[in-house]
């Protein structure tokens, strides 16, 4: 059953027709719309608040079933329209939520990403608002039961009236007139997780899907357990992580009994809204008992608010002395306040830690909060109970730091120099936002703490040495400016602070011990300071040597092979680069090879062998040709005339020269016997990227 409170008045009066211009009509319409919007967000216009939920910031959202709208009660104390035109209907999907029509919305819940889910009860659908746009998440608009295991938008619901989100982001729905609990997962698929659809009471200690409910109207979940207000069975049921259902509270008989005892032995009367506290207590809107009940984590039931009389109460009344009127819902704010929907009384009430009931700030427009800010940097907020929330400074007209209240106070580190400062309290939903009077102060520079980070144990001479310093402010704030790194009086690096960290580079330190100090030069807000000195041990950069093992002198005949054994030995630590080998000064025609031709010494000695192949002595060959063939060429001269012979005689020396050359020996070059000094080179790249060359010499004697 849904409760509605509405009033309609219709009066007819004789009217005189007065012509108006289009401009006058436009002005009149604008004023009418403005007046209507103002009325929509006036606390006195709230008719039937039925469902509530807080966002992570502490803003409260609630449904007004009789106005067919959703409102927000902000931290600062404003009442804002979130959804609904105020006209009962079903329209507006995929458009602005404020332009949509709703039909007796009964409940809502909010995801951590800000998506607002609404049980649009009279339309038999669940709506969703994301970034101000409204859509239908579940239901066709036609009452009924269908669609399990399919898209929720194609399923039928019947008077959904309570919602909550589980840890996976799935939406749990009290499908009240179907006497079932439905689940819509993050893919949009709908299933039934409890209830047979038959109105009744059965199934405890068995599968929840085989149990009977009677108009379930409240739901909450935590740690895999689902809590259900089985309203007309006057019980609270729970479904554990295995899917088994049991009764947590209520005997099934309507009434008010059992406080300070086991909840299973207590009587409830049409329980509706549920909420879980951070300590695991379950709050219950025990509607027809006009009370808010609580079940502790150990199963003991007590009354938190309300008495035996159905009625109204004044602001600030002790909770247990207050008169409530069929409370519909409960919720817990991020600040720990409990809030209840005192539905037929057209309002919401907050239960504060001292046990009193107060209206939310948005429902108490005359309520004030006092904010005091002093030059020491402390903002103090006073109001109802102990104000919670945050305070933000405005410094010379620019938004400044924010701090969270602790016992009604927040402390700030103030900037140096003369400034005009105000402190603004953002509100907590109970205490409205407020701003302090402006003060002008002059604060001296705050002290800064400078600490250098320990150097790396693997710093090498000639390689960049990284230096890091942290500059922090014990009183708050972030120092800016420059840090200078010094070795004695010498500046070895400078660096700018970024988020309180300065990183410099000592470009080419020498091997040995270096005592380094980081000096912060200060800024407009923080005084200069220095870090305790640190000692950086800079190691010599790893190197290597090359030397022969065994004899450095070898004697070989021409054509023989001479071998030399060589060691490449790391110096100053492991040499991790590759070392290539070469030799120069070889005798003519000799060749050389290394086995292996390249080594990586690492931390130990690497060996290689040089082999020199000398050139063999060639065998001499004498020419076998004579001058006779060339002499025969001149035999015809005898038969020539004298004049012709004289012409050919100059060719005779050429022939004699050719024939003389033919008598010489044709021999290739040979290596000269003697002593040769060979230079062996080892080349590698060190950690600094520098090419390193070391040599040694060996002697080769060719016989």
pLDDT tens-digit series, residues 480-493: 999 999 999 999 99
Q: What mean pLDDT comes out for the span 643-658?
A: 51
- Which pLDDT score is estimated for 33? 37
What is the band of 70 on the pLDDT scale with cuts at 50, 70, 90?
very high
3-state secondary structure of 29: helix
For residue 451, pLDDT over 50 is answered with: yes
- Which pLDDT score is estimated for 207? 99
Domain ranges of the chain: 370-443, 446-538, 542-614+670-702
What is the band of 442 on the pLDDT scale with cuts at 50, 70, 90?
confident
What percentage of the chain exceeds 90 in pLDDT? Answer: 76
Measure CA of the first residue to CA of the last residue in the chain; give whole Å: 122
* Burial (Cβ within 10 Å: 0-12, 13-18, ≥19) of residue 685: middle
Within a 10 A sphere around the Cβ of 233, how many other Cβ atoms?
Answer: 25
- Which pLDDT score is estimated for 595? 96
Least confident of 240-244, 397-401, 661-665: 661-665
For residue 76, pLDDT over 90 is answered with: yes
- Which pLDDT score is estimated for 101? 98
Q: Which fold has domain 542-614+670-702?
A: Immunoglobulin-like (2.60.40)
* Preceding omega of 243 cis (within 30 degrees of 0): no
- Which pLDDT score is estimated for 687? 85
Q: What mean pLDDT comes out for the span 441-447?
A: 81
For residue 29, pLDDT over 80 is answered with: no
Whole-number Å distance between alpha carbons of 543 and 595: 22
For residue 619, pLDDT over 90 is answered with: no
What is the band of 638 on the pLDDT scale with cuts at 50, 70, 90?
low
Least confident of 198-212, 339-353, 470-484: 470-484
Q: What mean pLDDT comes out for the span 179-202?
A: 98
Whole-number Å distance between alpha carbons of 273 and 294: 12
Category of 462 on φ-ψ map: left (φ > 0), alpha (ψ -120 to 50) or beta: left
Query: How confident is the model over 91-145, as pLDDT tens digits?
Result: 999 999 999 999 999 999 999 999 999 999 999 999 999 999 999 999 999 999 9
Q: What mean pLDDT comes out for the span 652-672?
A: 53
Query: How confident is the model over 597-608, as pLDDT tens digits?
Result: 999 999 999 999
What is the band of 443 on the pLDDT scale with cuts at 50, 70, 90?
confident
Provide CATH code, domain 446-538. 2.60.40.10
pTM across the whole model: 0.65
Contact present, 404 and 410 (Cβ < 8 Å): yes
- Give CB contacts under 8 A, 24+ apart, made by 319-322: 319/292, 319/351, 319/355, 319/356, 319/357, 320/355, 322/349, 322/357
Mean pLDDT of the chain: 88
Least confident of 124-133, 187-196, 663-672: 663-672
- Which pLDDT score is estimated for 647? 52
- Which pLDDT score is estimated for 508? 86
For residue 17, pLDDT over 80 is answered with: no
Least confident of 338-352, 504-518, 541-555, 657-671: 657-671
- Which pLDDT score is estimated for 94? 98
Fold agreement (446-538, 542-614+670-702): yes
Higher pLDDT, 644 or 492: 492
């Amino acid at each position: 059953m849904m409760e509605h409170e509405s009033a309609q008045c219709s009066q007819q009066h004789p009217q005189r027709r007065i012509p108006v211009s289009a401009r006058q009509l436009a002005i009149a319409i604008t004023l009418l719309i403005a007046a209507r919007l103002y009325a929509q967000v006036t606390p006195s216009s709230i008719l039937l608040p039925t469902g509530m939920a807080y966002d992570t910031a502490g803003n409260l959202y609630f449904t007004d079933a009789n106005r067919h709208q959703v409102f927000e009660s902000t931290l600062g104390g404003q009442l804002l329209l979130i959804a609904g035109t105020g006209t009962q209907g079903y329209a507006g999907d995929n458009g602005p939520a404020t332009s949509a029509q709703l039909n007796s919305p009964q409940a809502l819940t909010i995801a951590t990403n800000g998506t607002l889910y609404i049980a649009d009860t009279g339309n038999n659908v669940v709506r969703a608002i994301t970034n101000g746009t409204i859509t239908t998440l579940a239901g066709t608009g036609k009452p009924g039961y269908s669609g399990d295991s399919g898209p929720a938008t194609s399923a039928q619901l019947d008077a959904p009236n309570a919602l909550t989100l589980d840890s996976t982001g799935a939406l749990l729905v009290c499908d009240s007139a179907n006497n079932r609990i439905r689940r819509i997962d993050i893919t949009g698929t709908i299933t039934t997780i409890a209830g047979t659809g038959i109105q009744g009471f059965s199934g405890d200690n068995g599968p929840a899907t085989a149990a009977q409910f009677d108009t379930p109207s409240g739901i909450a979940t935590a740690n895999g357990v689902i809590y259900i207000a089985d309203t007309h069975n006057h019980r609270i049921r729970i479904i554990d992580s295995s899917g088994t259902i049991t009764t947590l509270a209520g005997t099934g008989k309507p009434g008010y009994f059992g406080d300070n005892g086991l909840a299973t032995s207590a009587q409830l009367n049409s329980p509706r809204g549920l909420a879980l506290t951070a300590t695991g207590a379950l709050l219950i809107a025990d509607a027809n008992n006009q009370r808010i009940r609580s079940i502790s984590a150990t199963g003991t039931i007590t009354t938190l608010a309300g008495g035996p009389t159905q009625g109204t109460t004044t602001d600030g009344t002790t909770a247990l002395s207050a008169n409530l009127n069929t409370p519909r819902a409960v919720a817990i704010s991020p600040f720990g306040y409990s809030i209840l929907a005192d539905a037929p009384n057209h309002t919401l009430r907050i239960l504060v830690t001292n046990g009193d009931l107060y209206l939310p700030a948005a429902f108490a427009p005359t309520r004030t909060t006092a904010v005091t800010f002093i030059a020491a940097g402390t903002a103090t907020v006073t109001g109802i109970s102990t104000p919670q929330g945050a305070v933000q400074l405005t410094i010379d007209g620019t938004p400044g730091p924010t701090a969270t209240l602790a016992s009604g106070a927040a402390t700030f580190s103030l900037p140096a120099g003369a400034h005009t400062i105000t402190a603004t309290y953002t509100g907590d939903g109970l205490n409205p936002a407020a701003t302090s009077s402006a003060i002008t102060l002059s604060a001296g520079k705050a002290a800064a703490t400078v600490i250098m980070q320990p150097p790396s144990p693997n710093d090498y001479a000639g390689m960049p040495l990284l230096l890091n310093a942290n500059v922090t402010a014990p009183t708050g704030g972030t120092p800016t400016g420059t840090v200078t790194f010094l070795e004695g009086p010498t500046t070895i690096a400078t660096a700018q602070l970024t988020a309180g960290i300065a990183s410099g580079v000592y470009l080419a330190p020498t091997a040995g011990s270096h005592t380094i100090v980081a000096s912060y030069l200060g800024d407009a807000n923080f005084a200069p300071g220095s870090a305790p000195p640190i000692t950086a041990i800079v190691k010599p950069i790893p190197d290597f040597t090359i030397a022969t093992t065994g004899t450095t002198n070898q004697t070989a005949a021409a054509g023989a092979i001479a071998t030399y054994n060589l060691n490449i030995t790391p110096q100053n630590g492991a040499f991790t680069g590759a070392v290539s080998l070469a030799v120069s000064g070889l005798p003519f025609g000799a060749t050389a090879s290394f086995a292996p031709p390249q080594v990586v010494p690492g931390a130990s000695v690497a060996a290689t062998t040089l082999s020199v192949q000398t050139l063999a002595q060639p065998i001499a060959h004498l020419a076998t040709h004579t001058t006779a063939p060339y002499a025969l060429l001149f035999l015809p001269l005898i038969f020539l005339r004298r004049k012709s012979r004289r012409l050919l005689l100059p060719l005779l020396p050429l022939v004699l020269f050719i024939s003389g050359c033919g008598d010489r020996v044709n021999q290739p070059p040979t290596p000269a016997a003697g002593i040769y000094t060979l230079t062996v080179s080892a080349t590698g790249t060190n950690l600094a990227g520098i090419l390193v060359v070391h040599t040694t010499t060996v002697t080769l004697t060719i016989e």
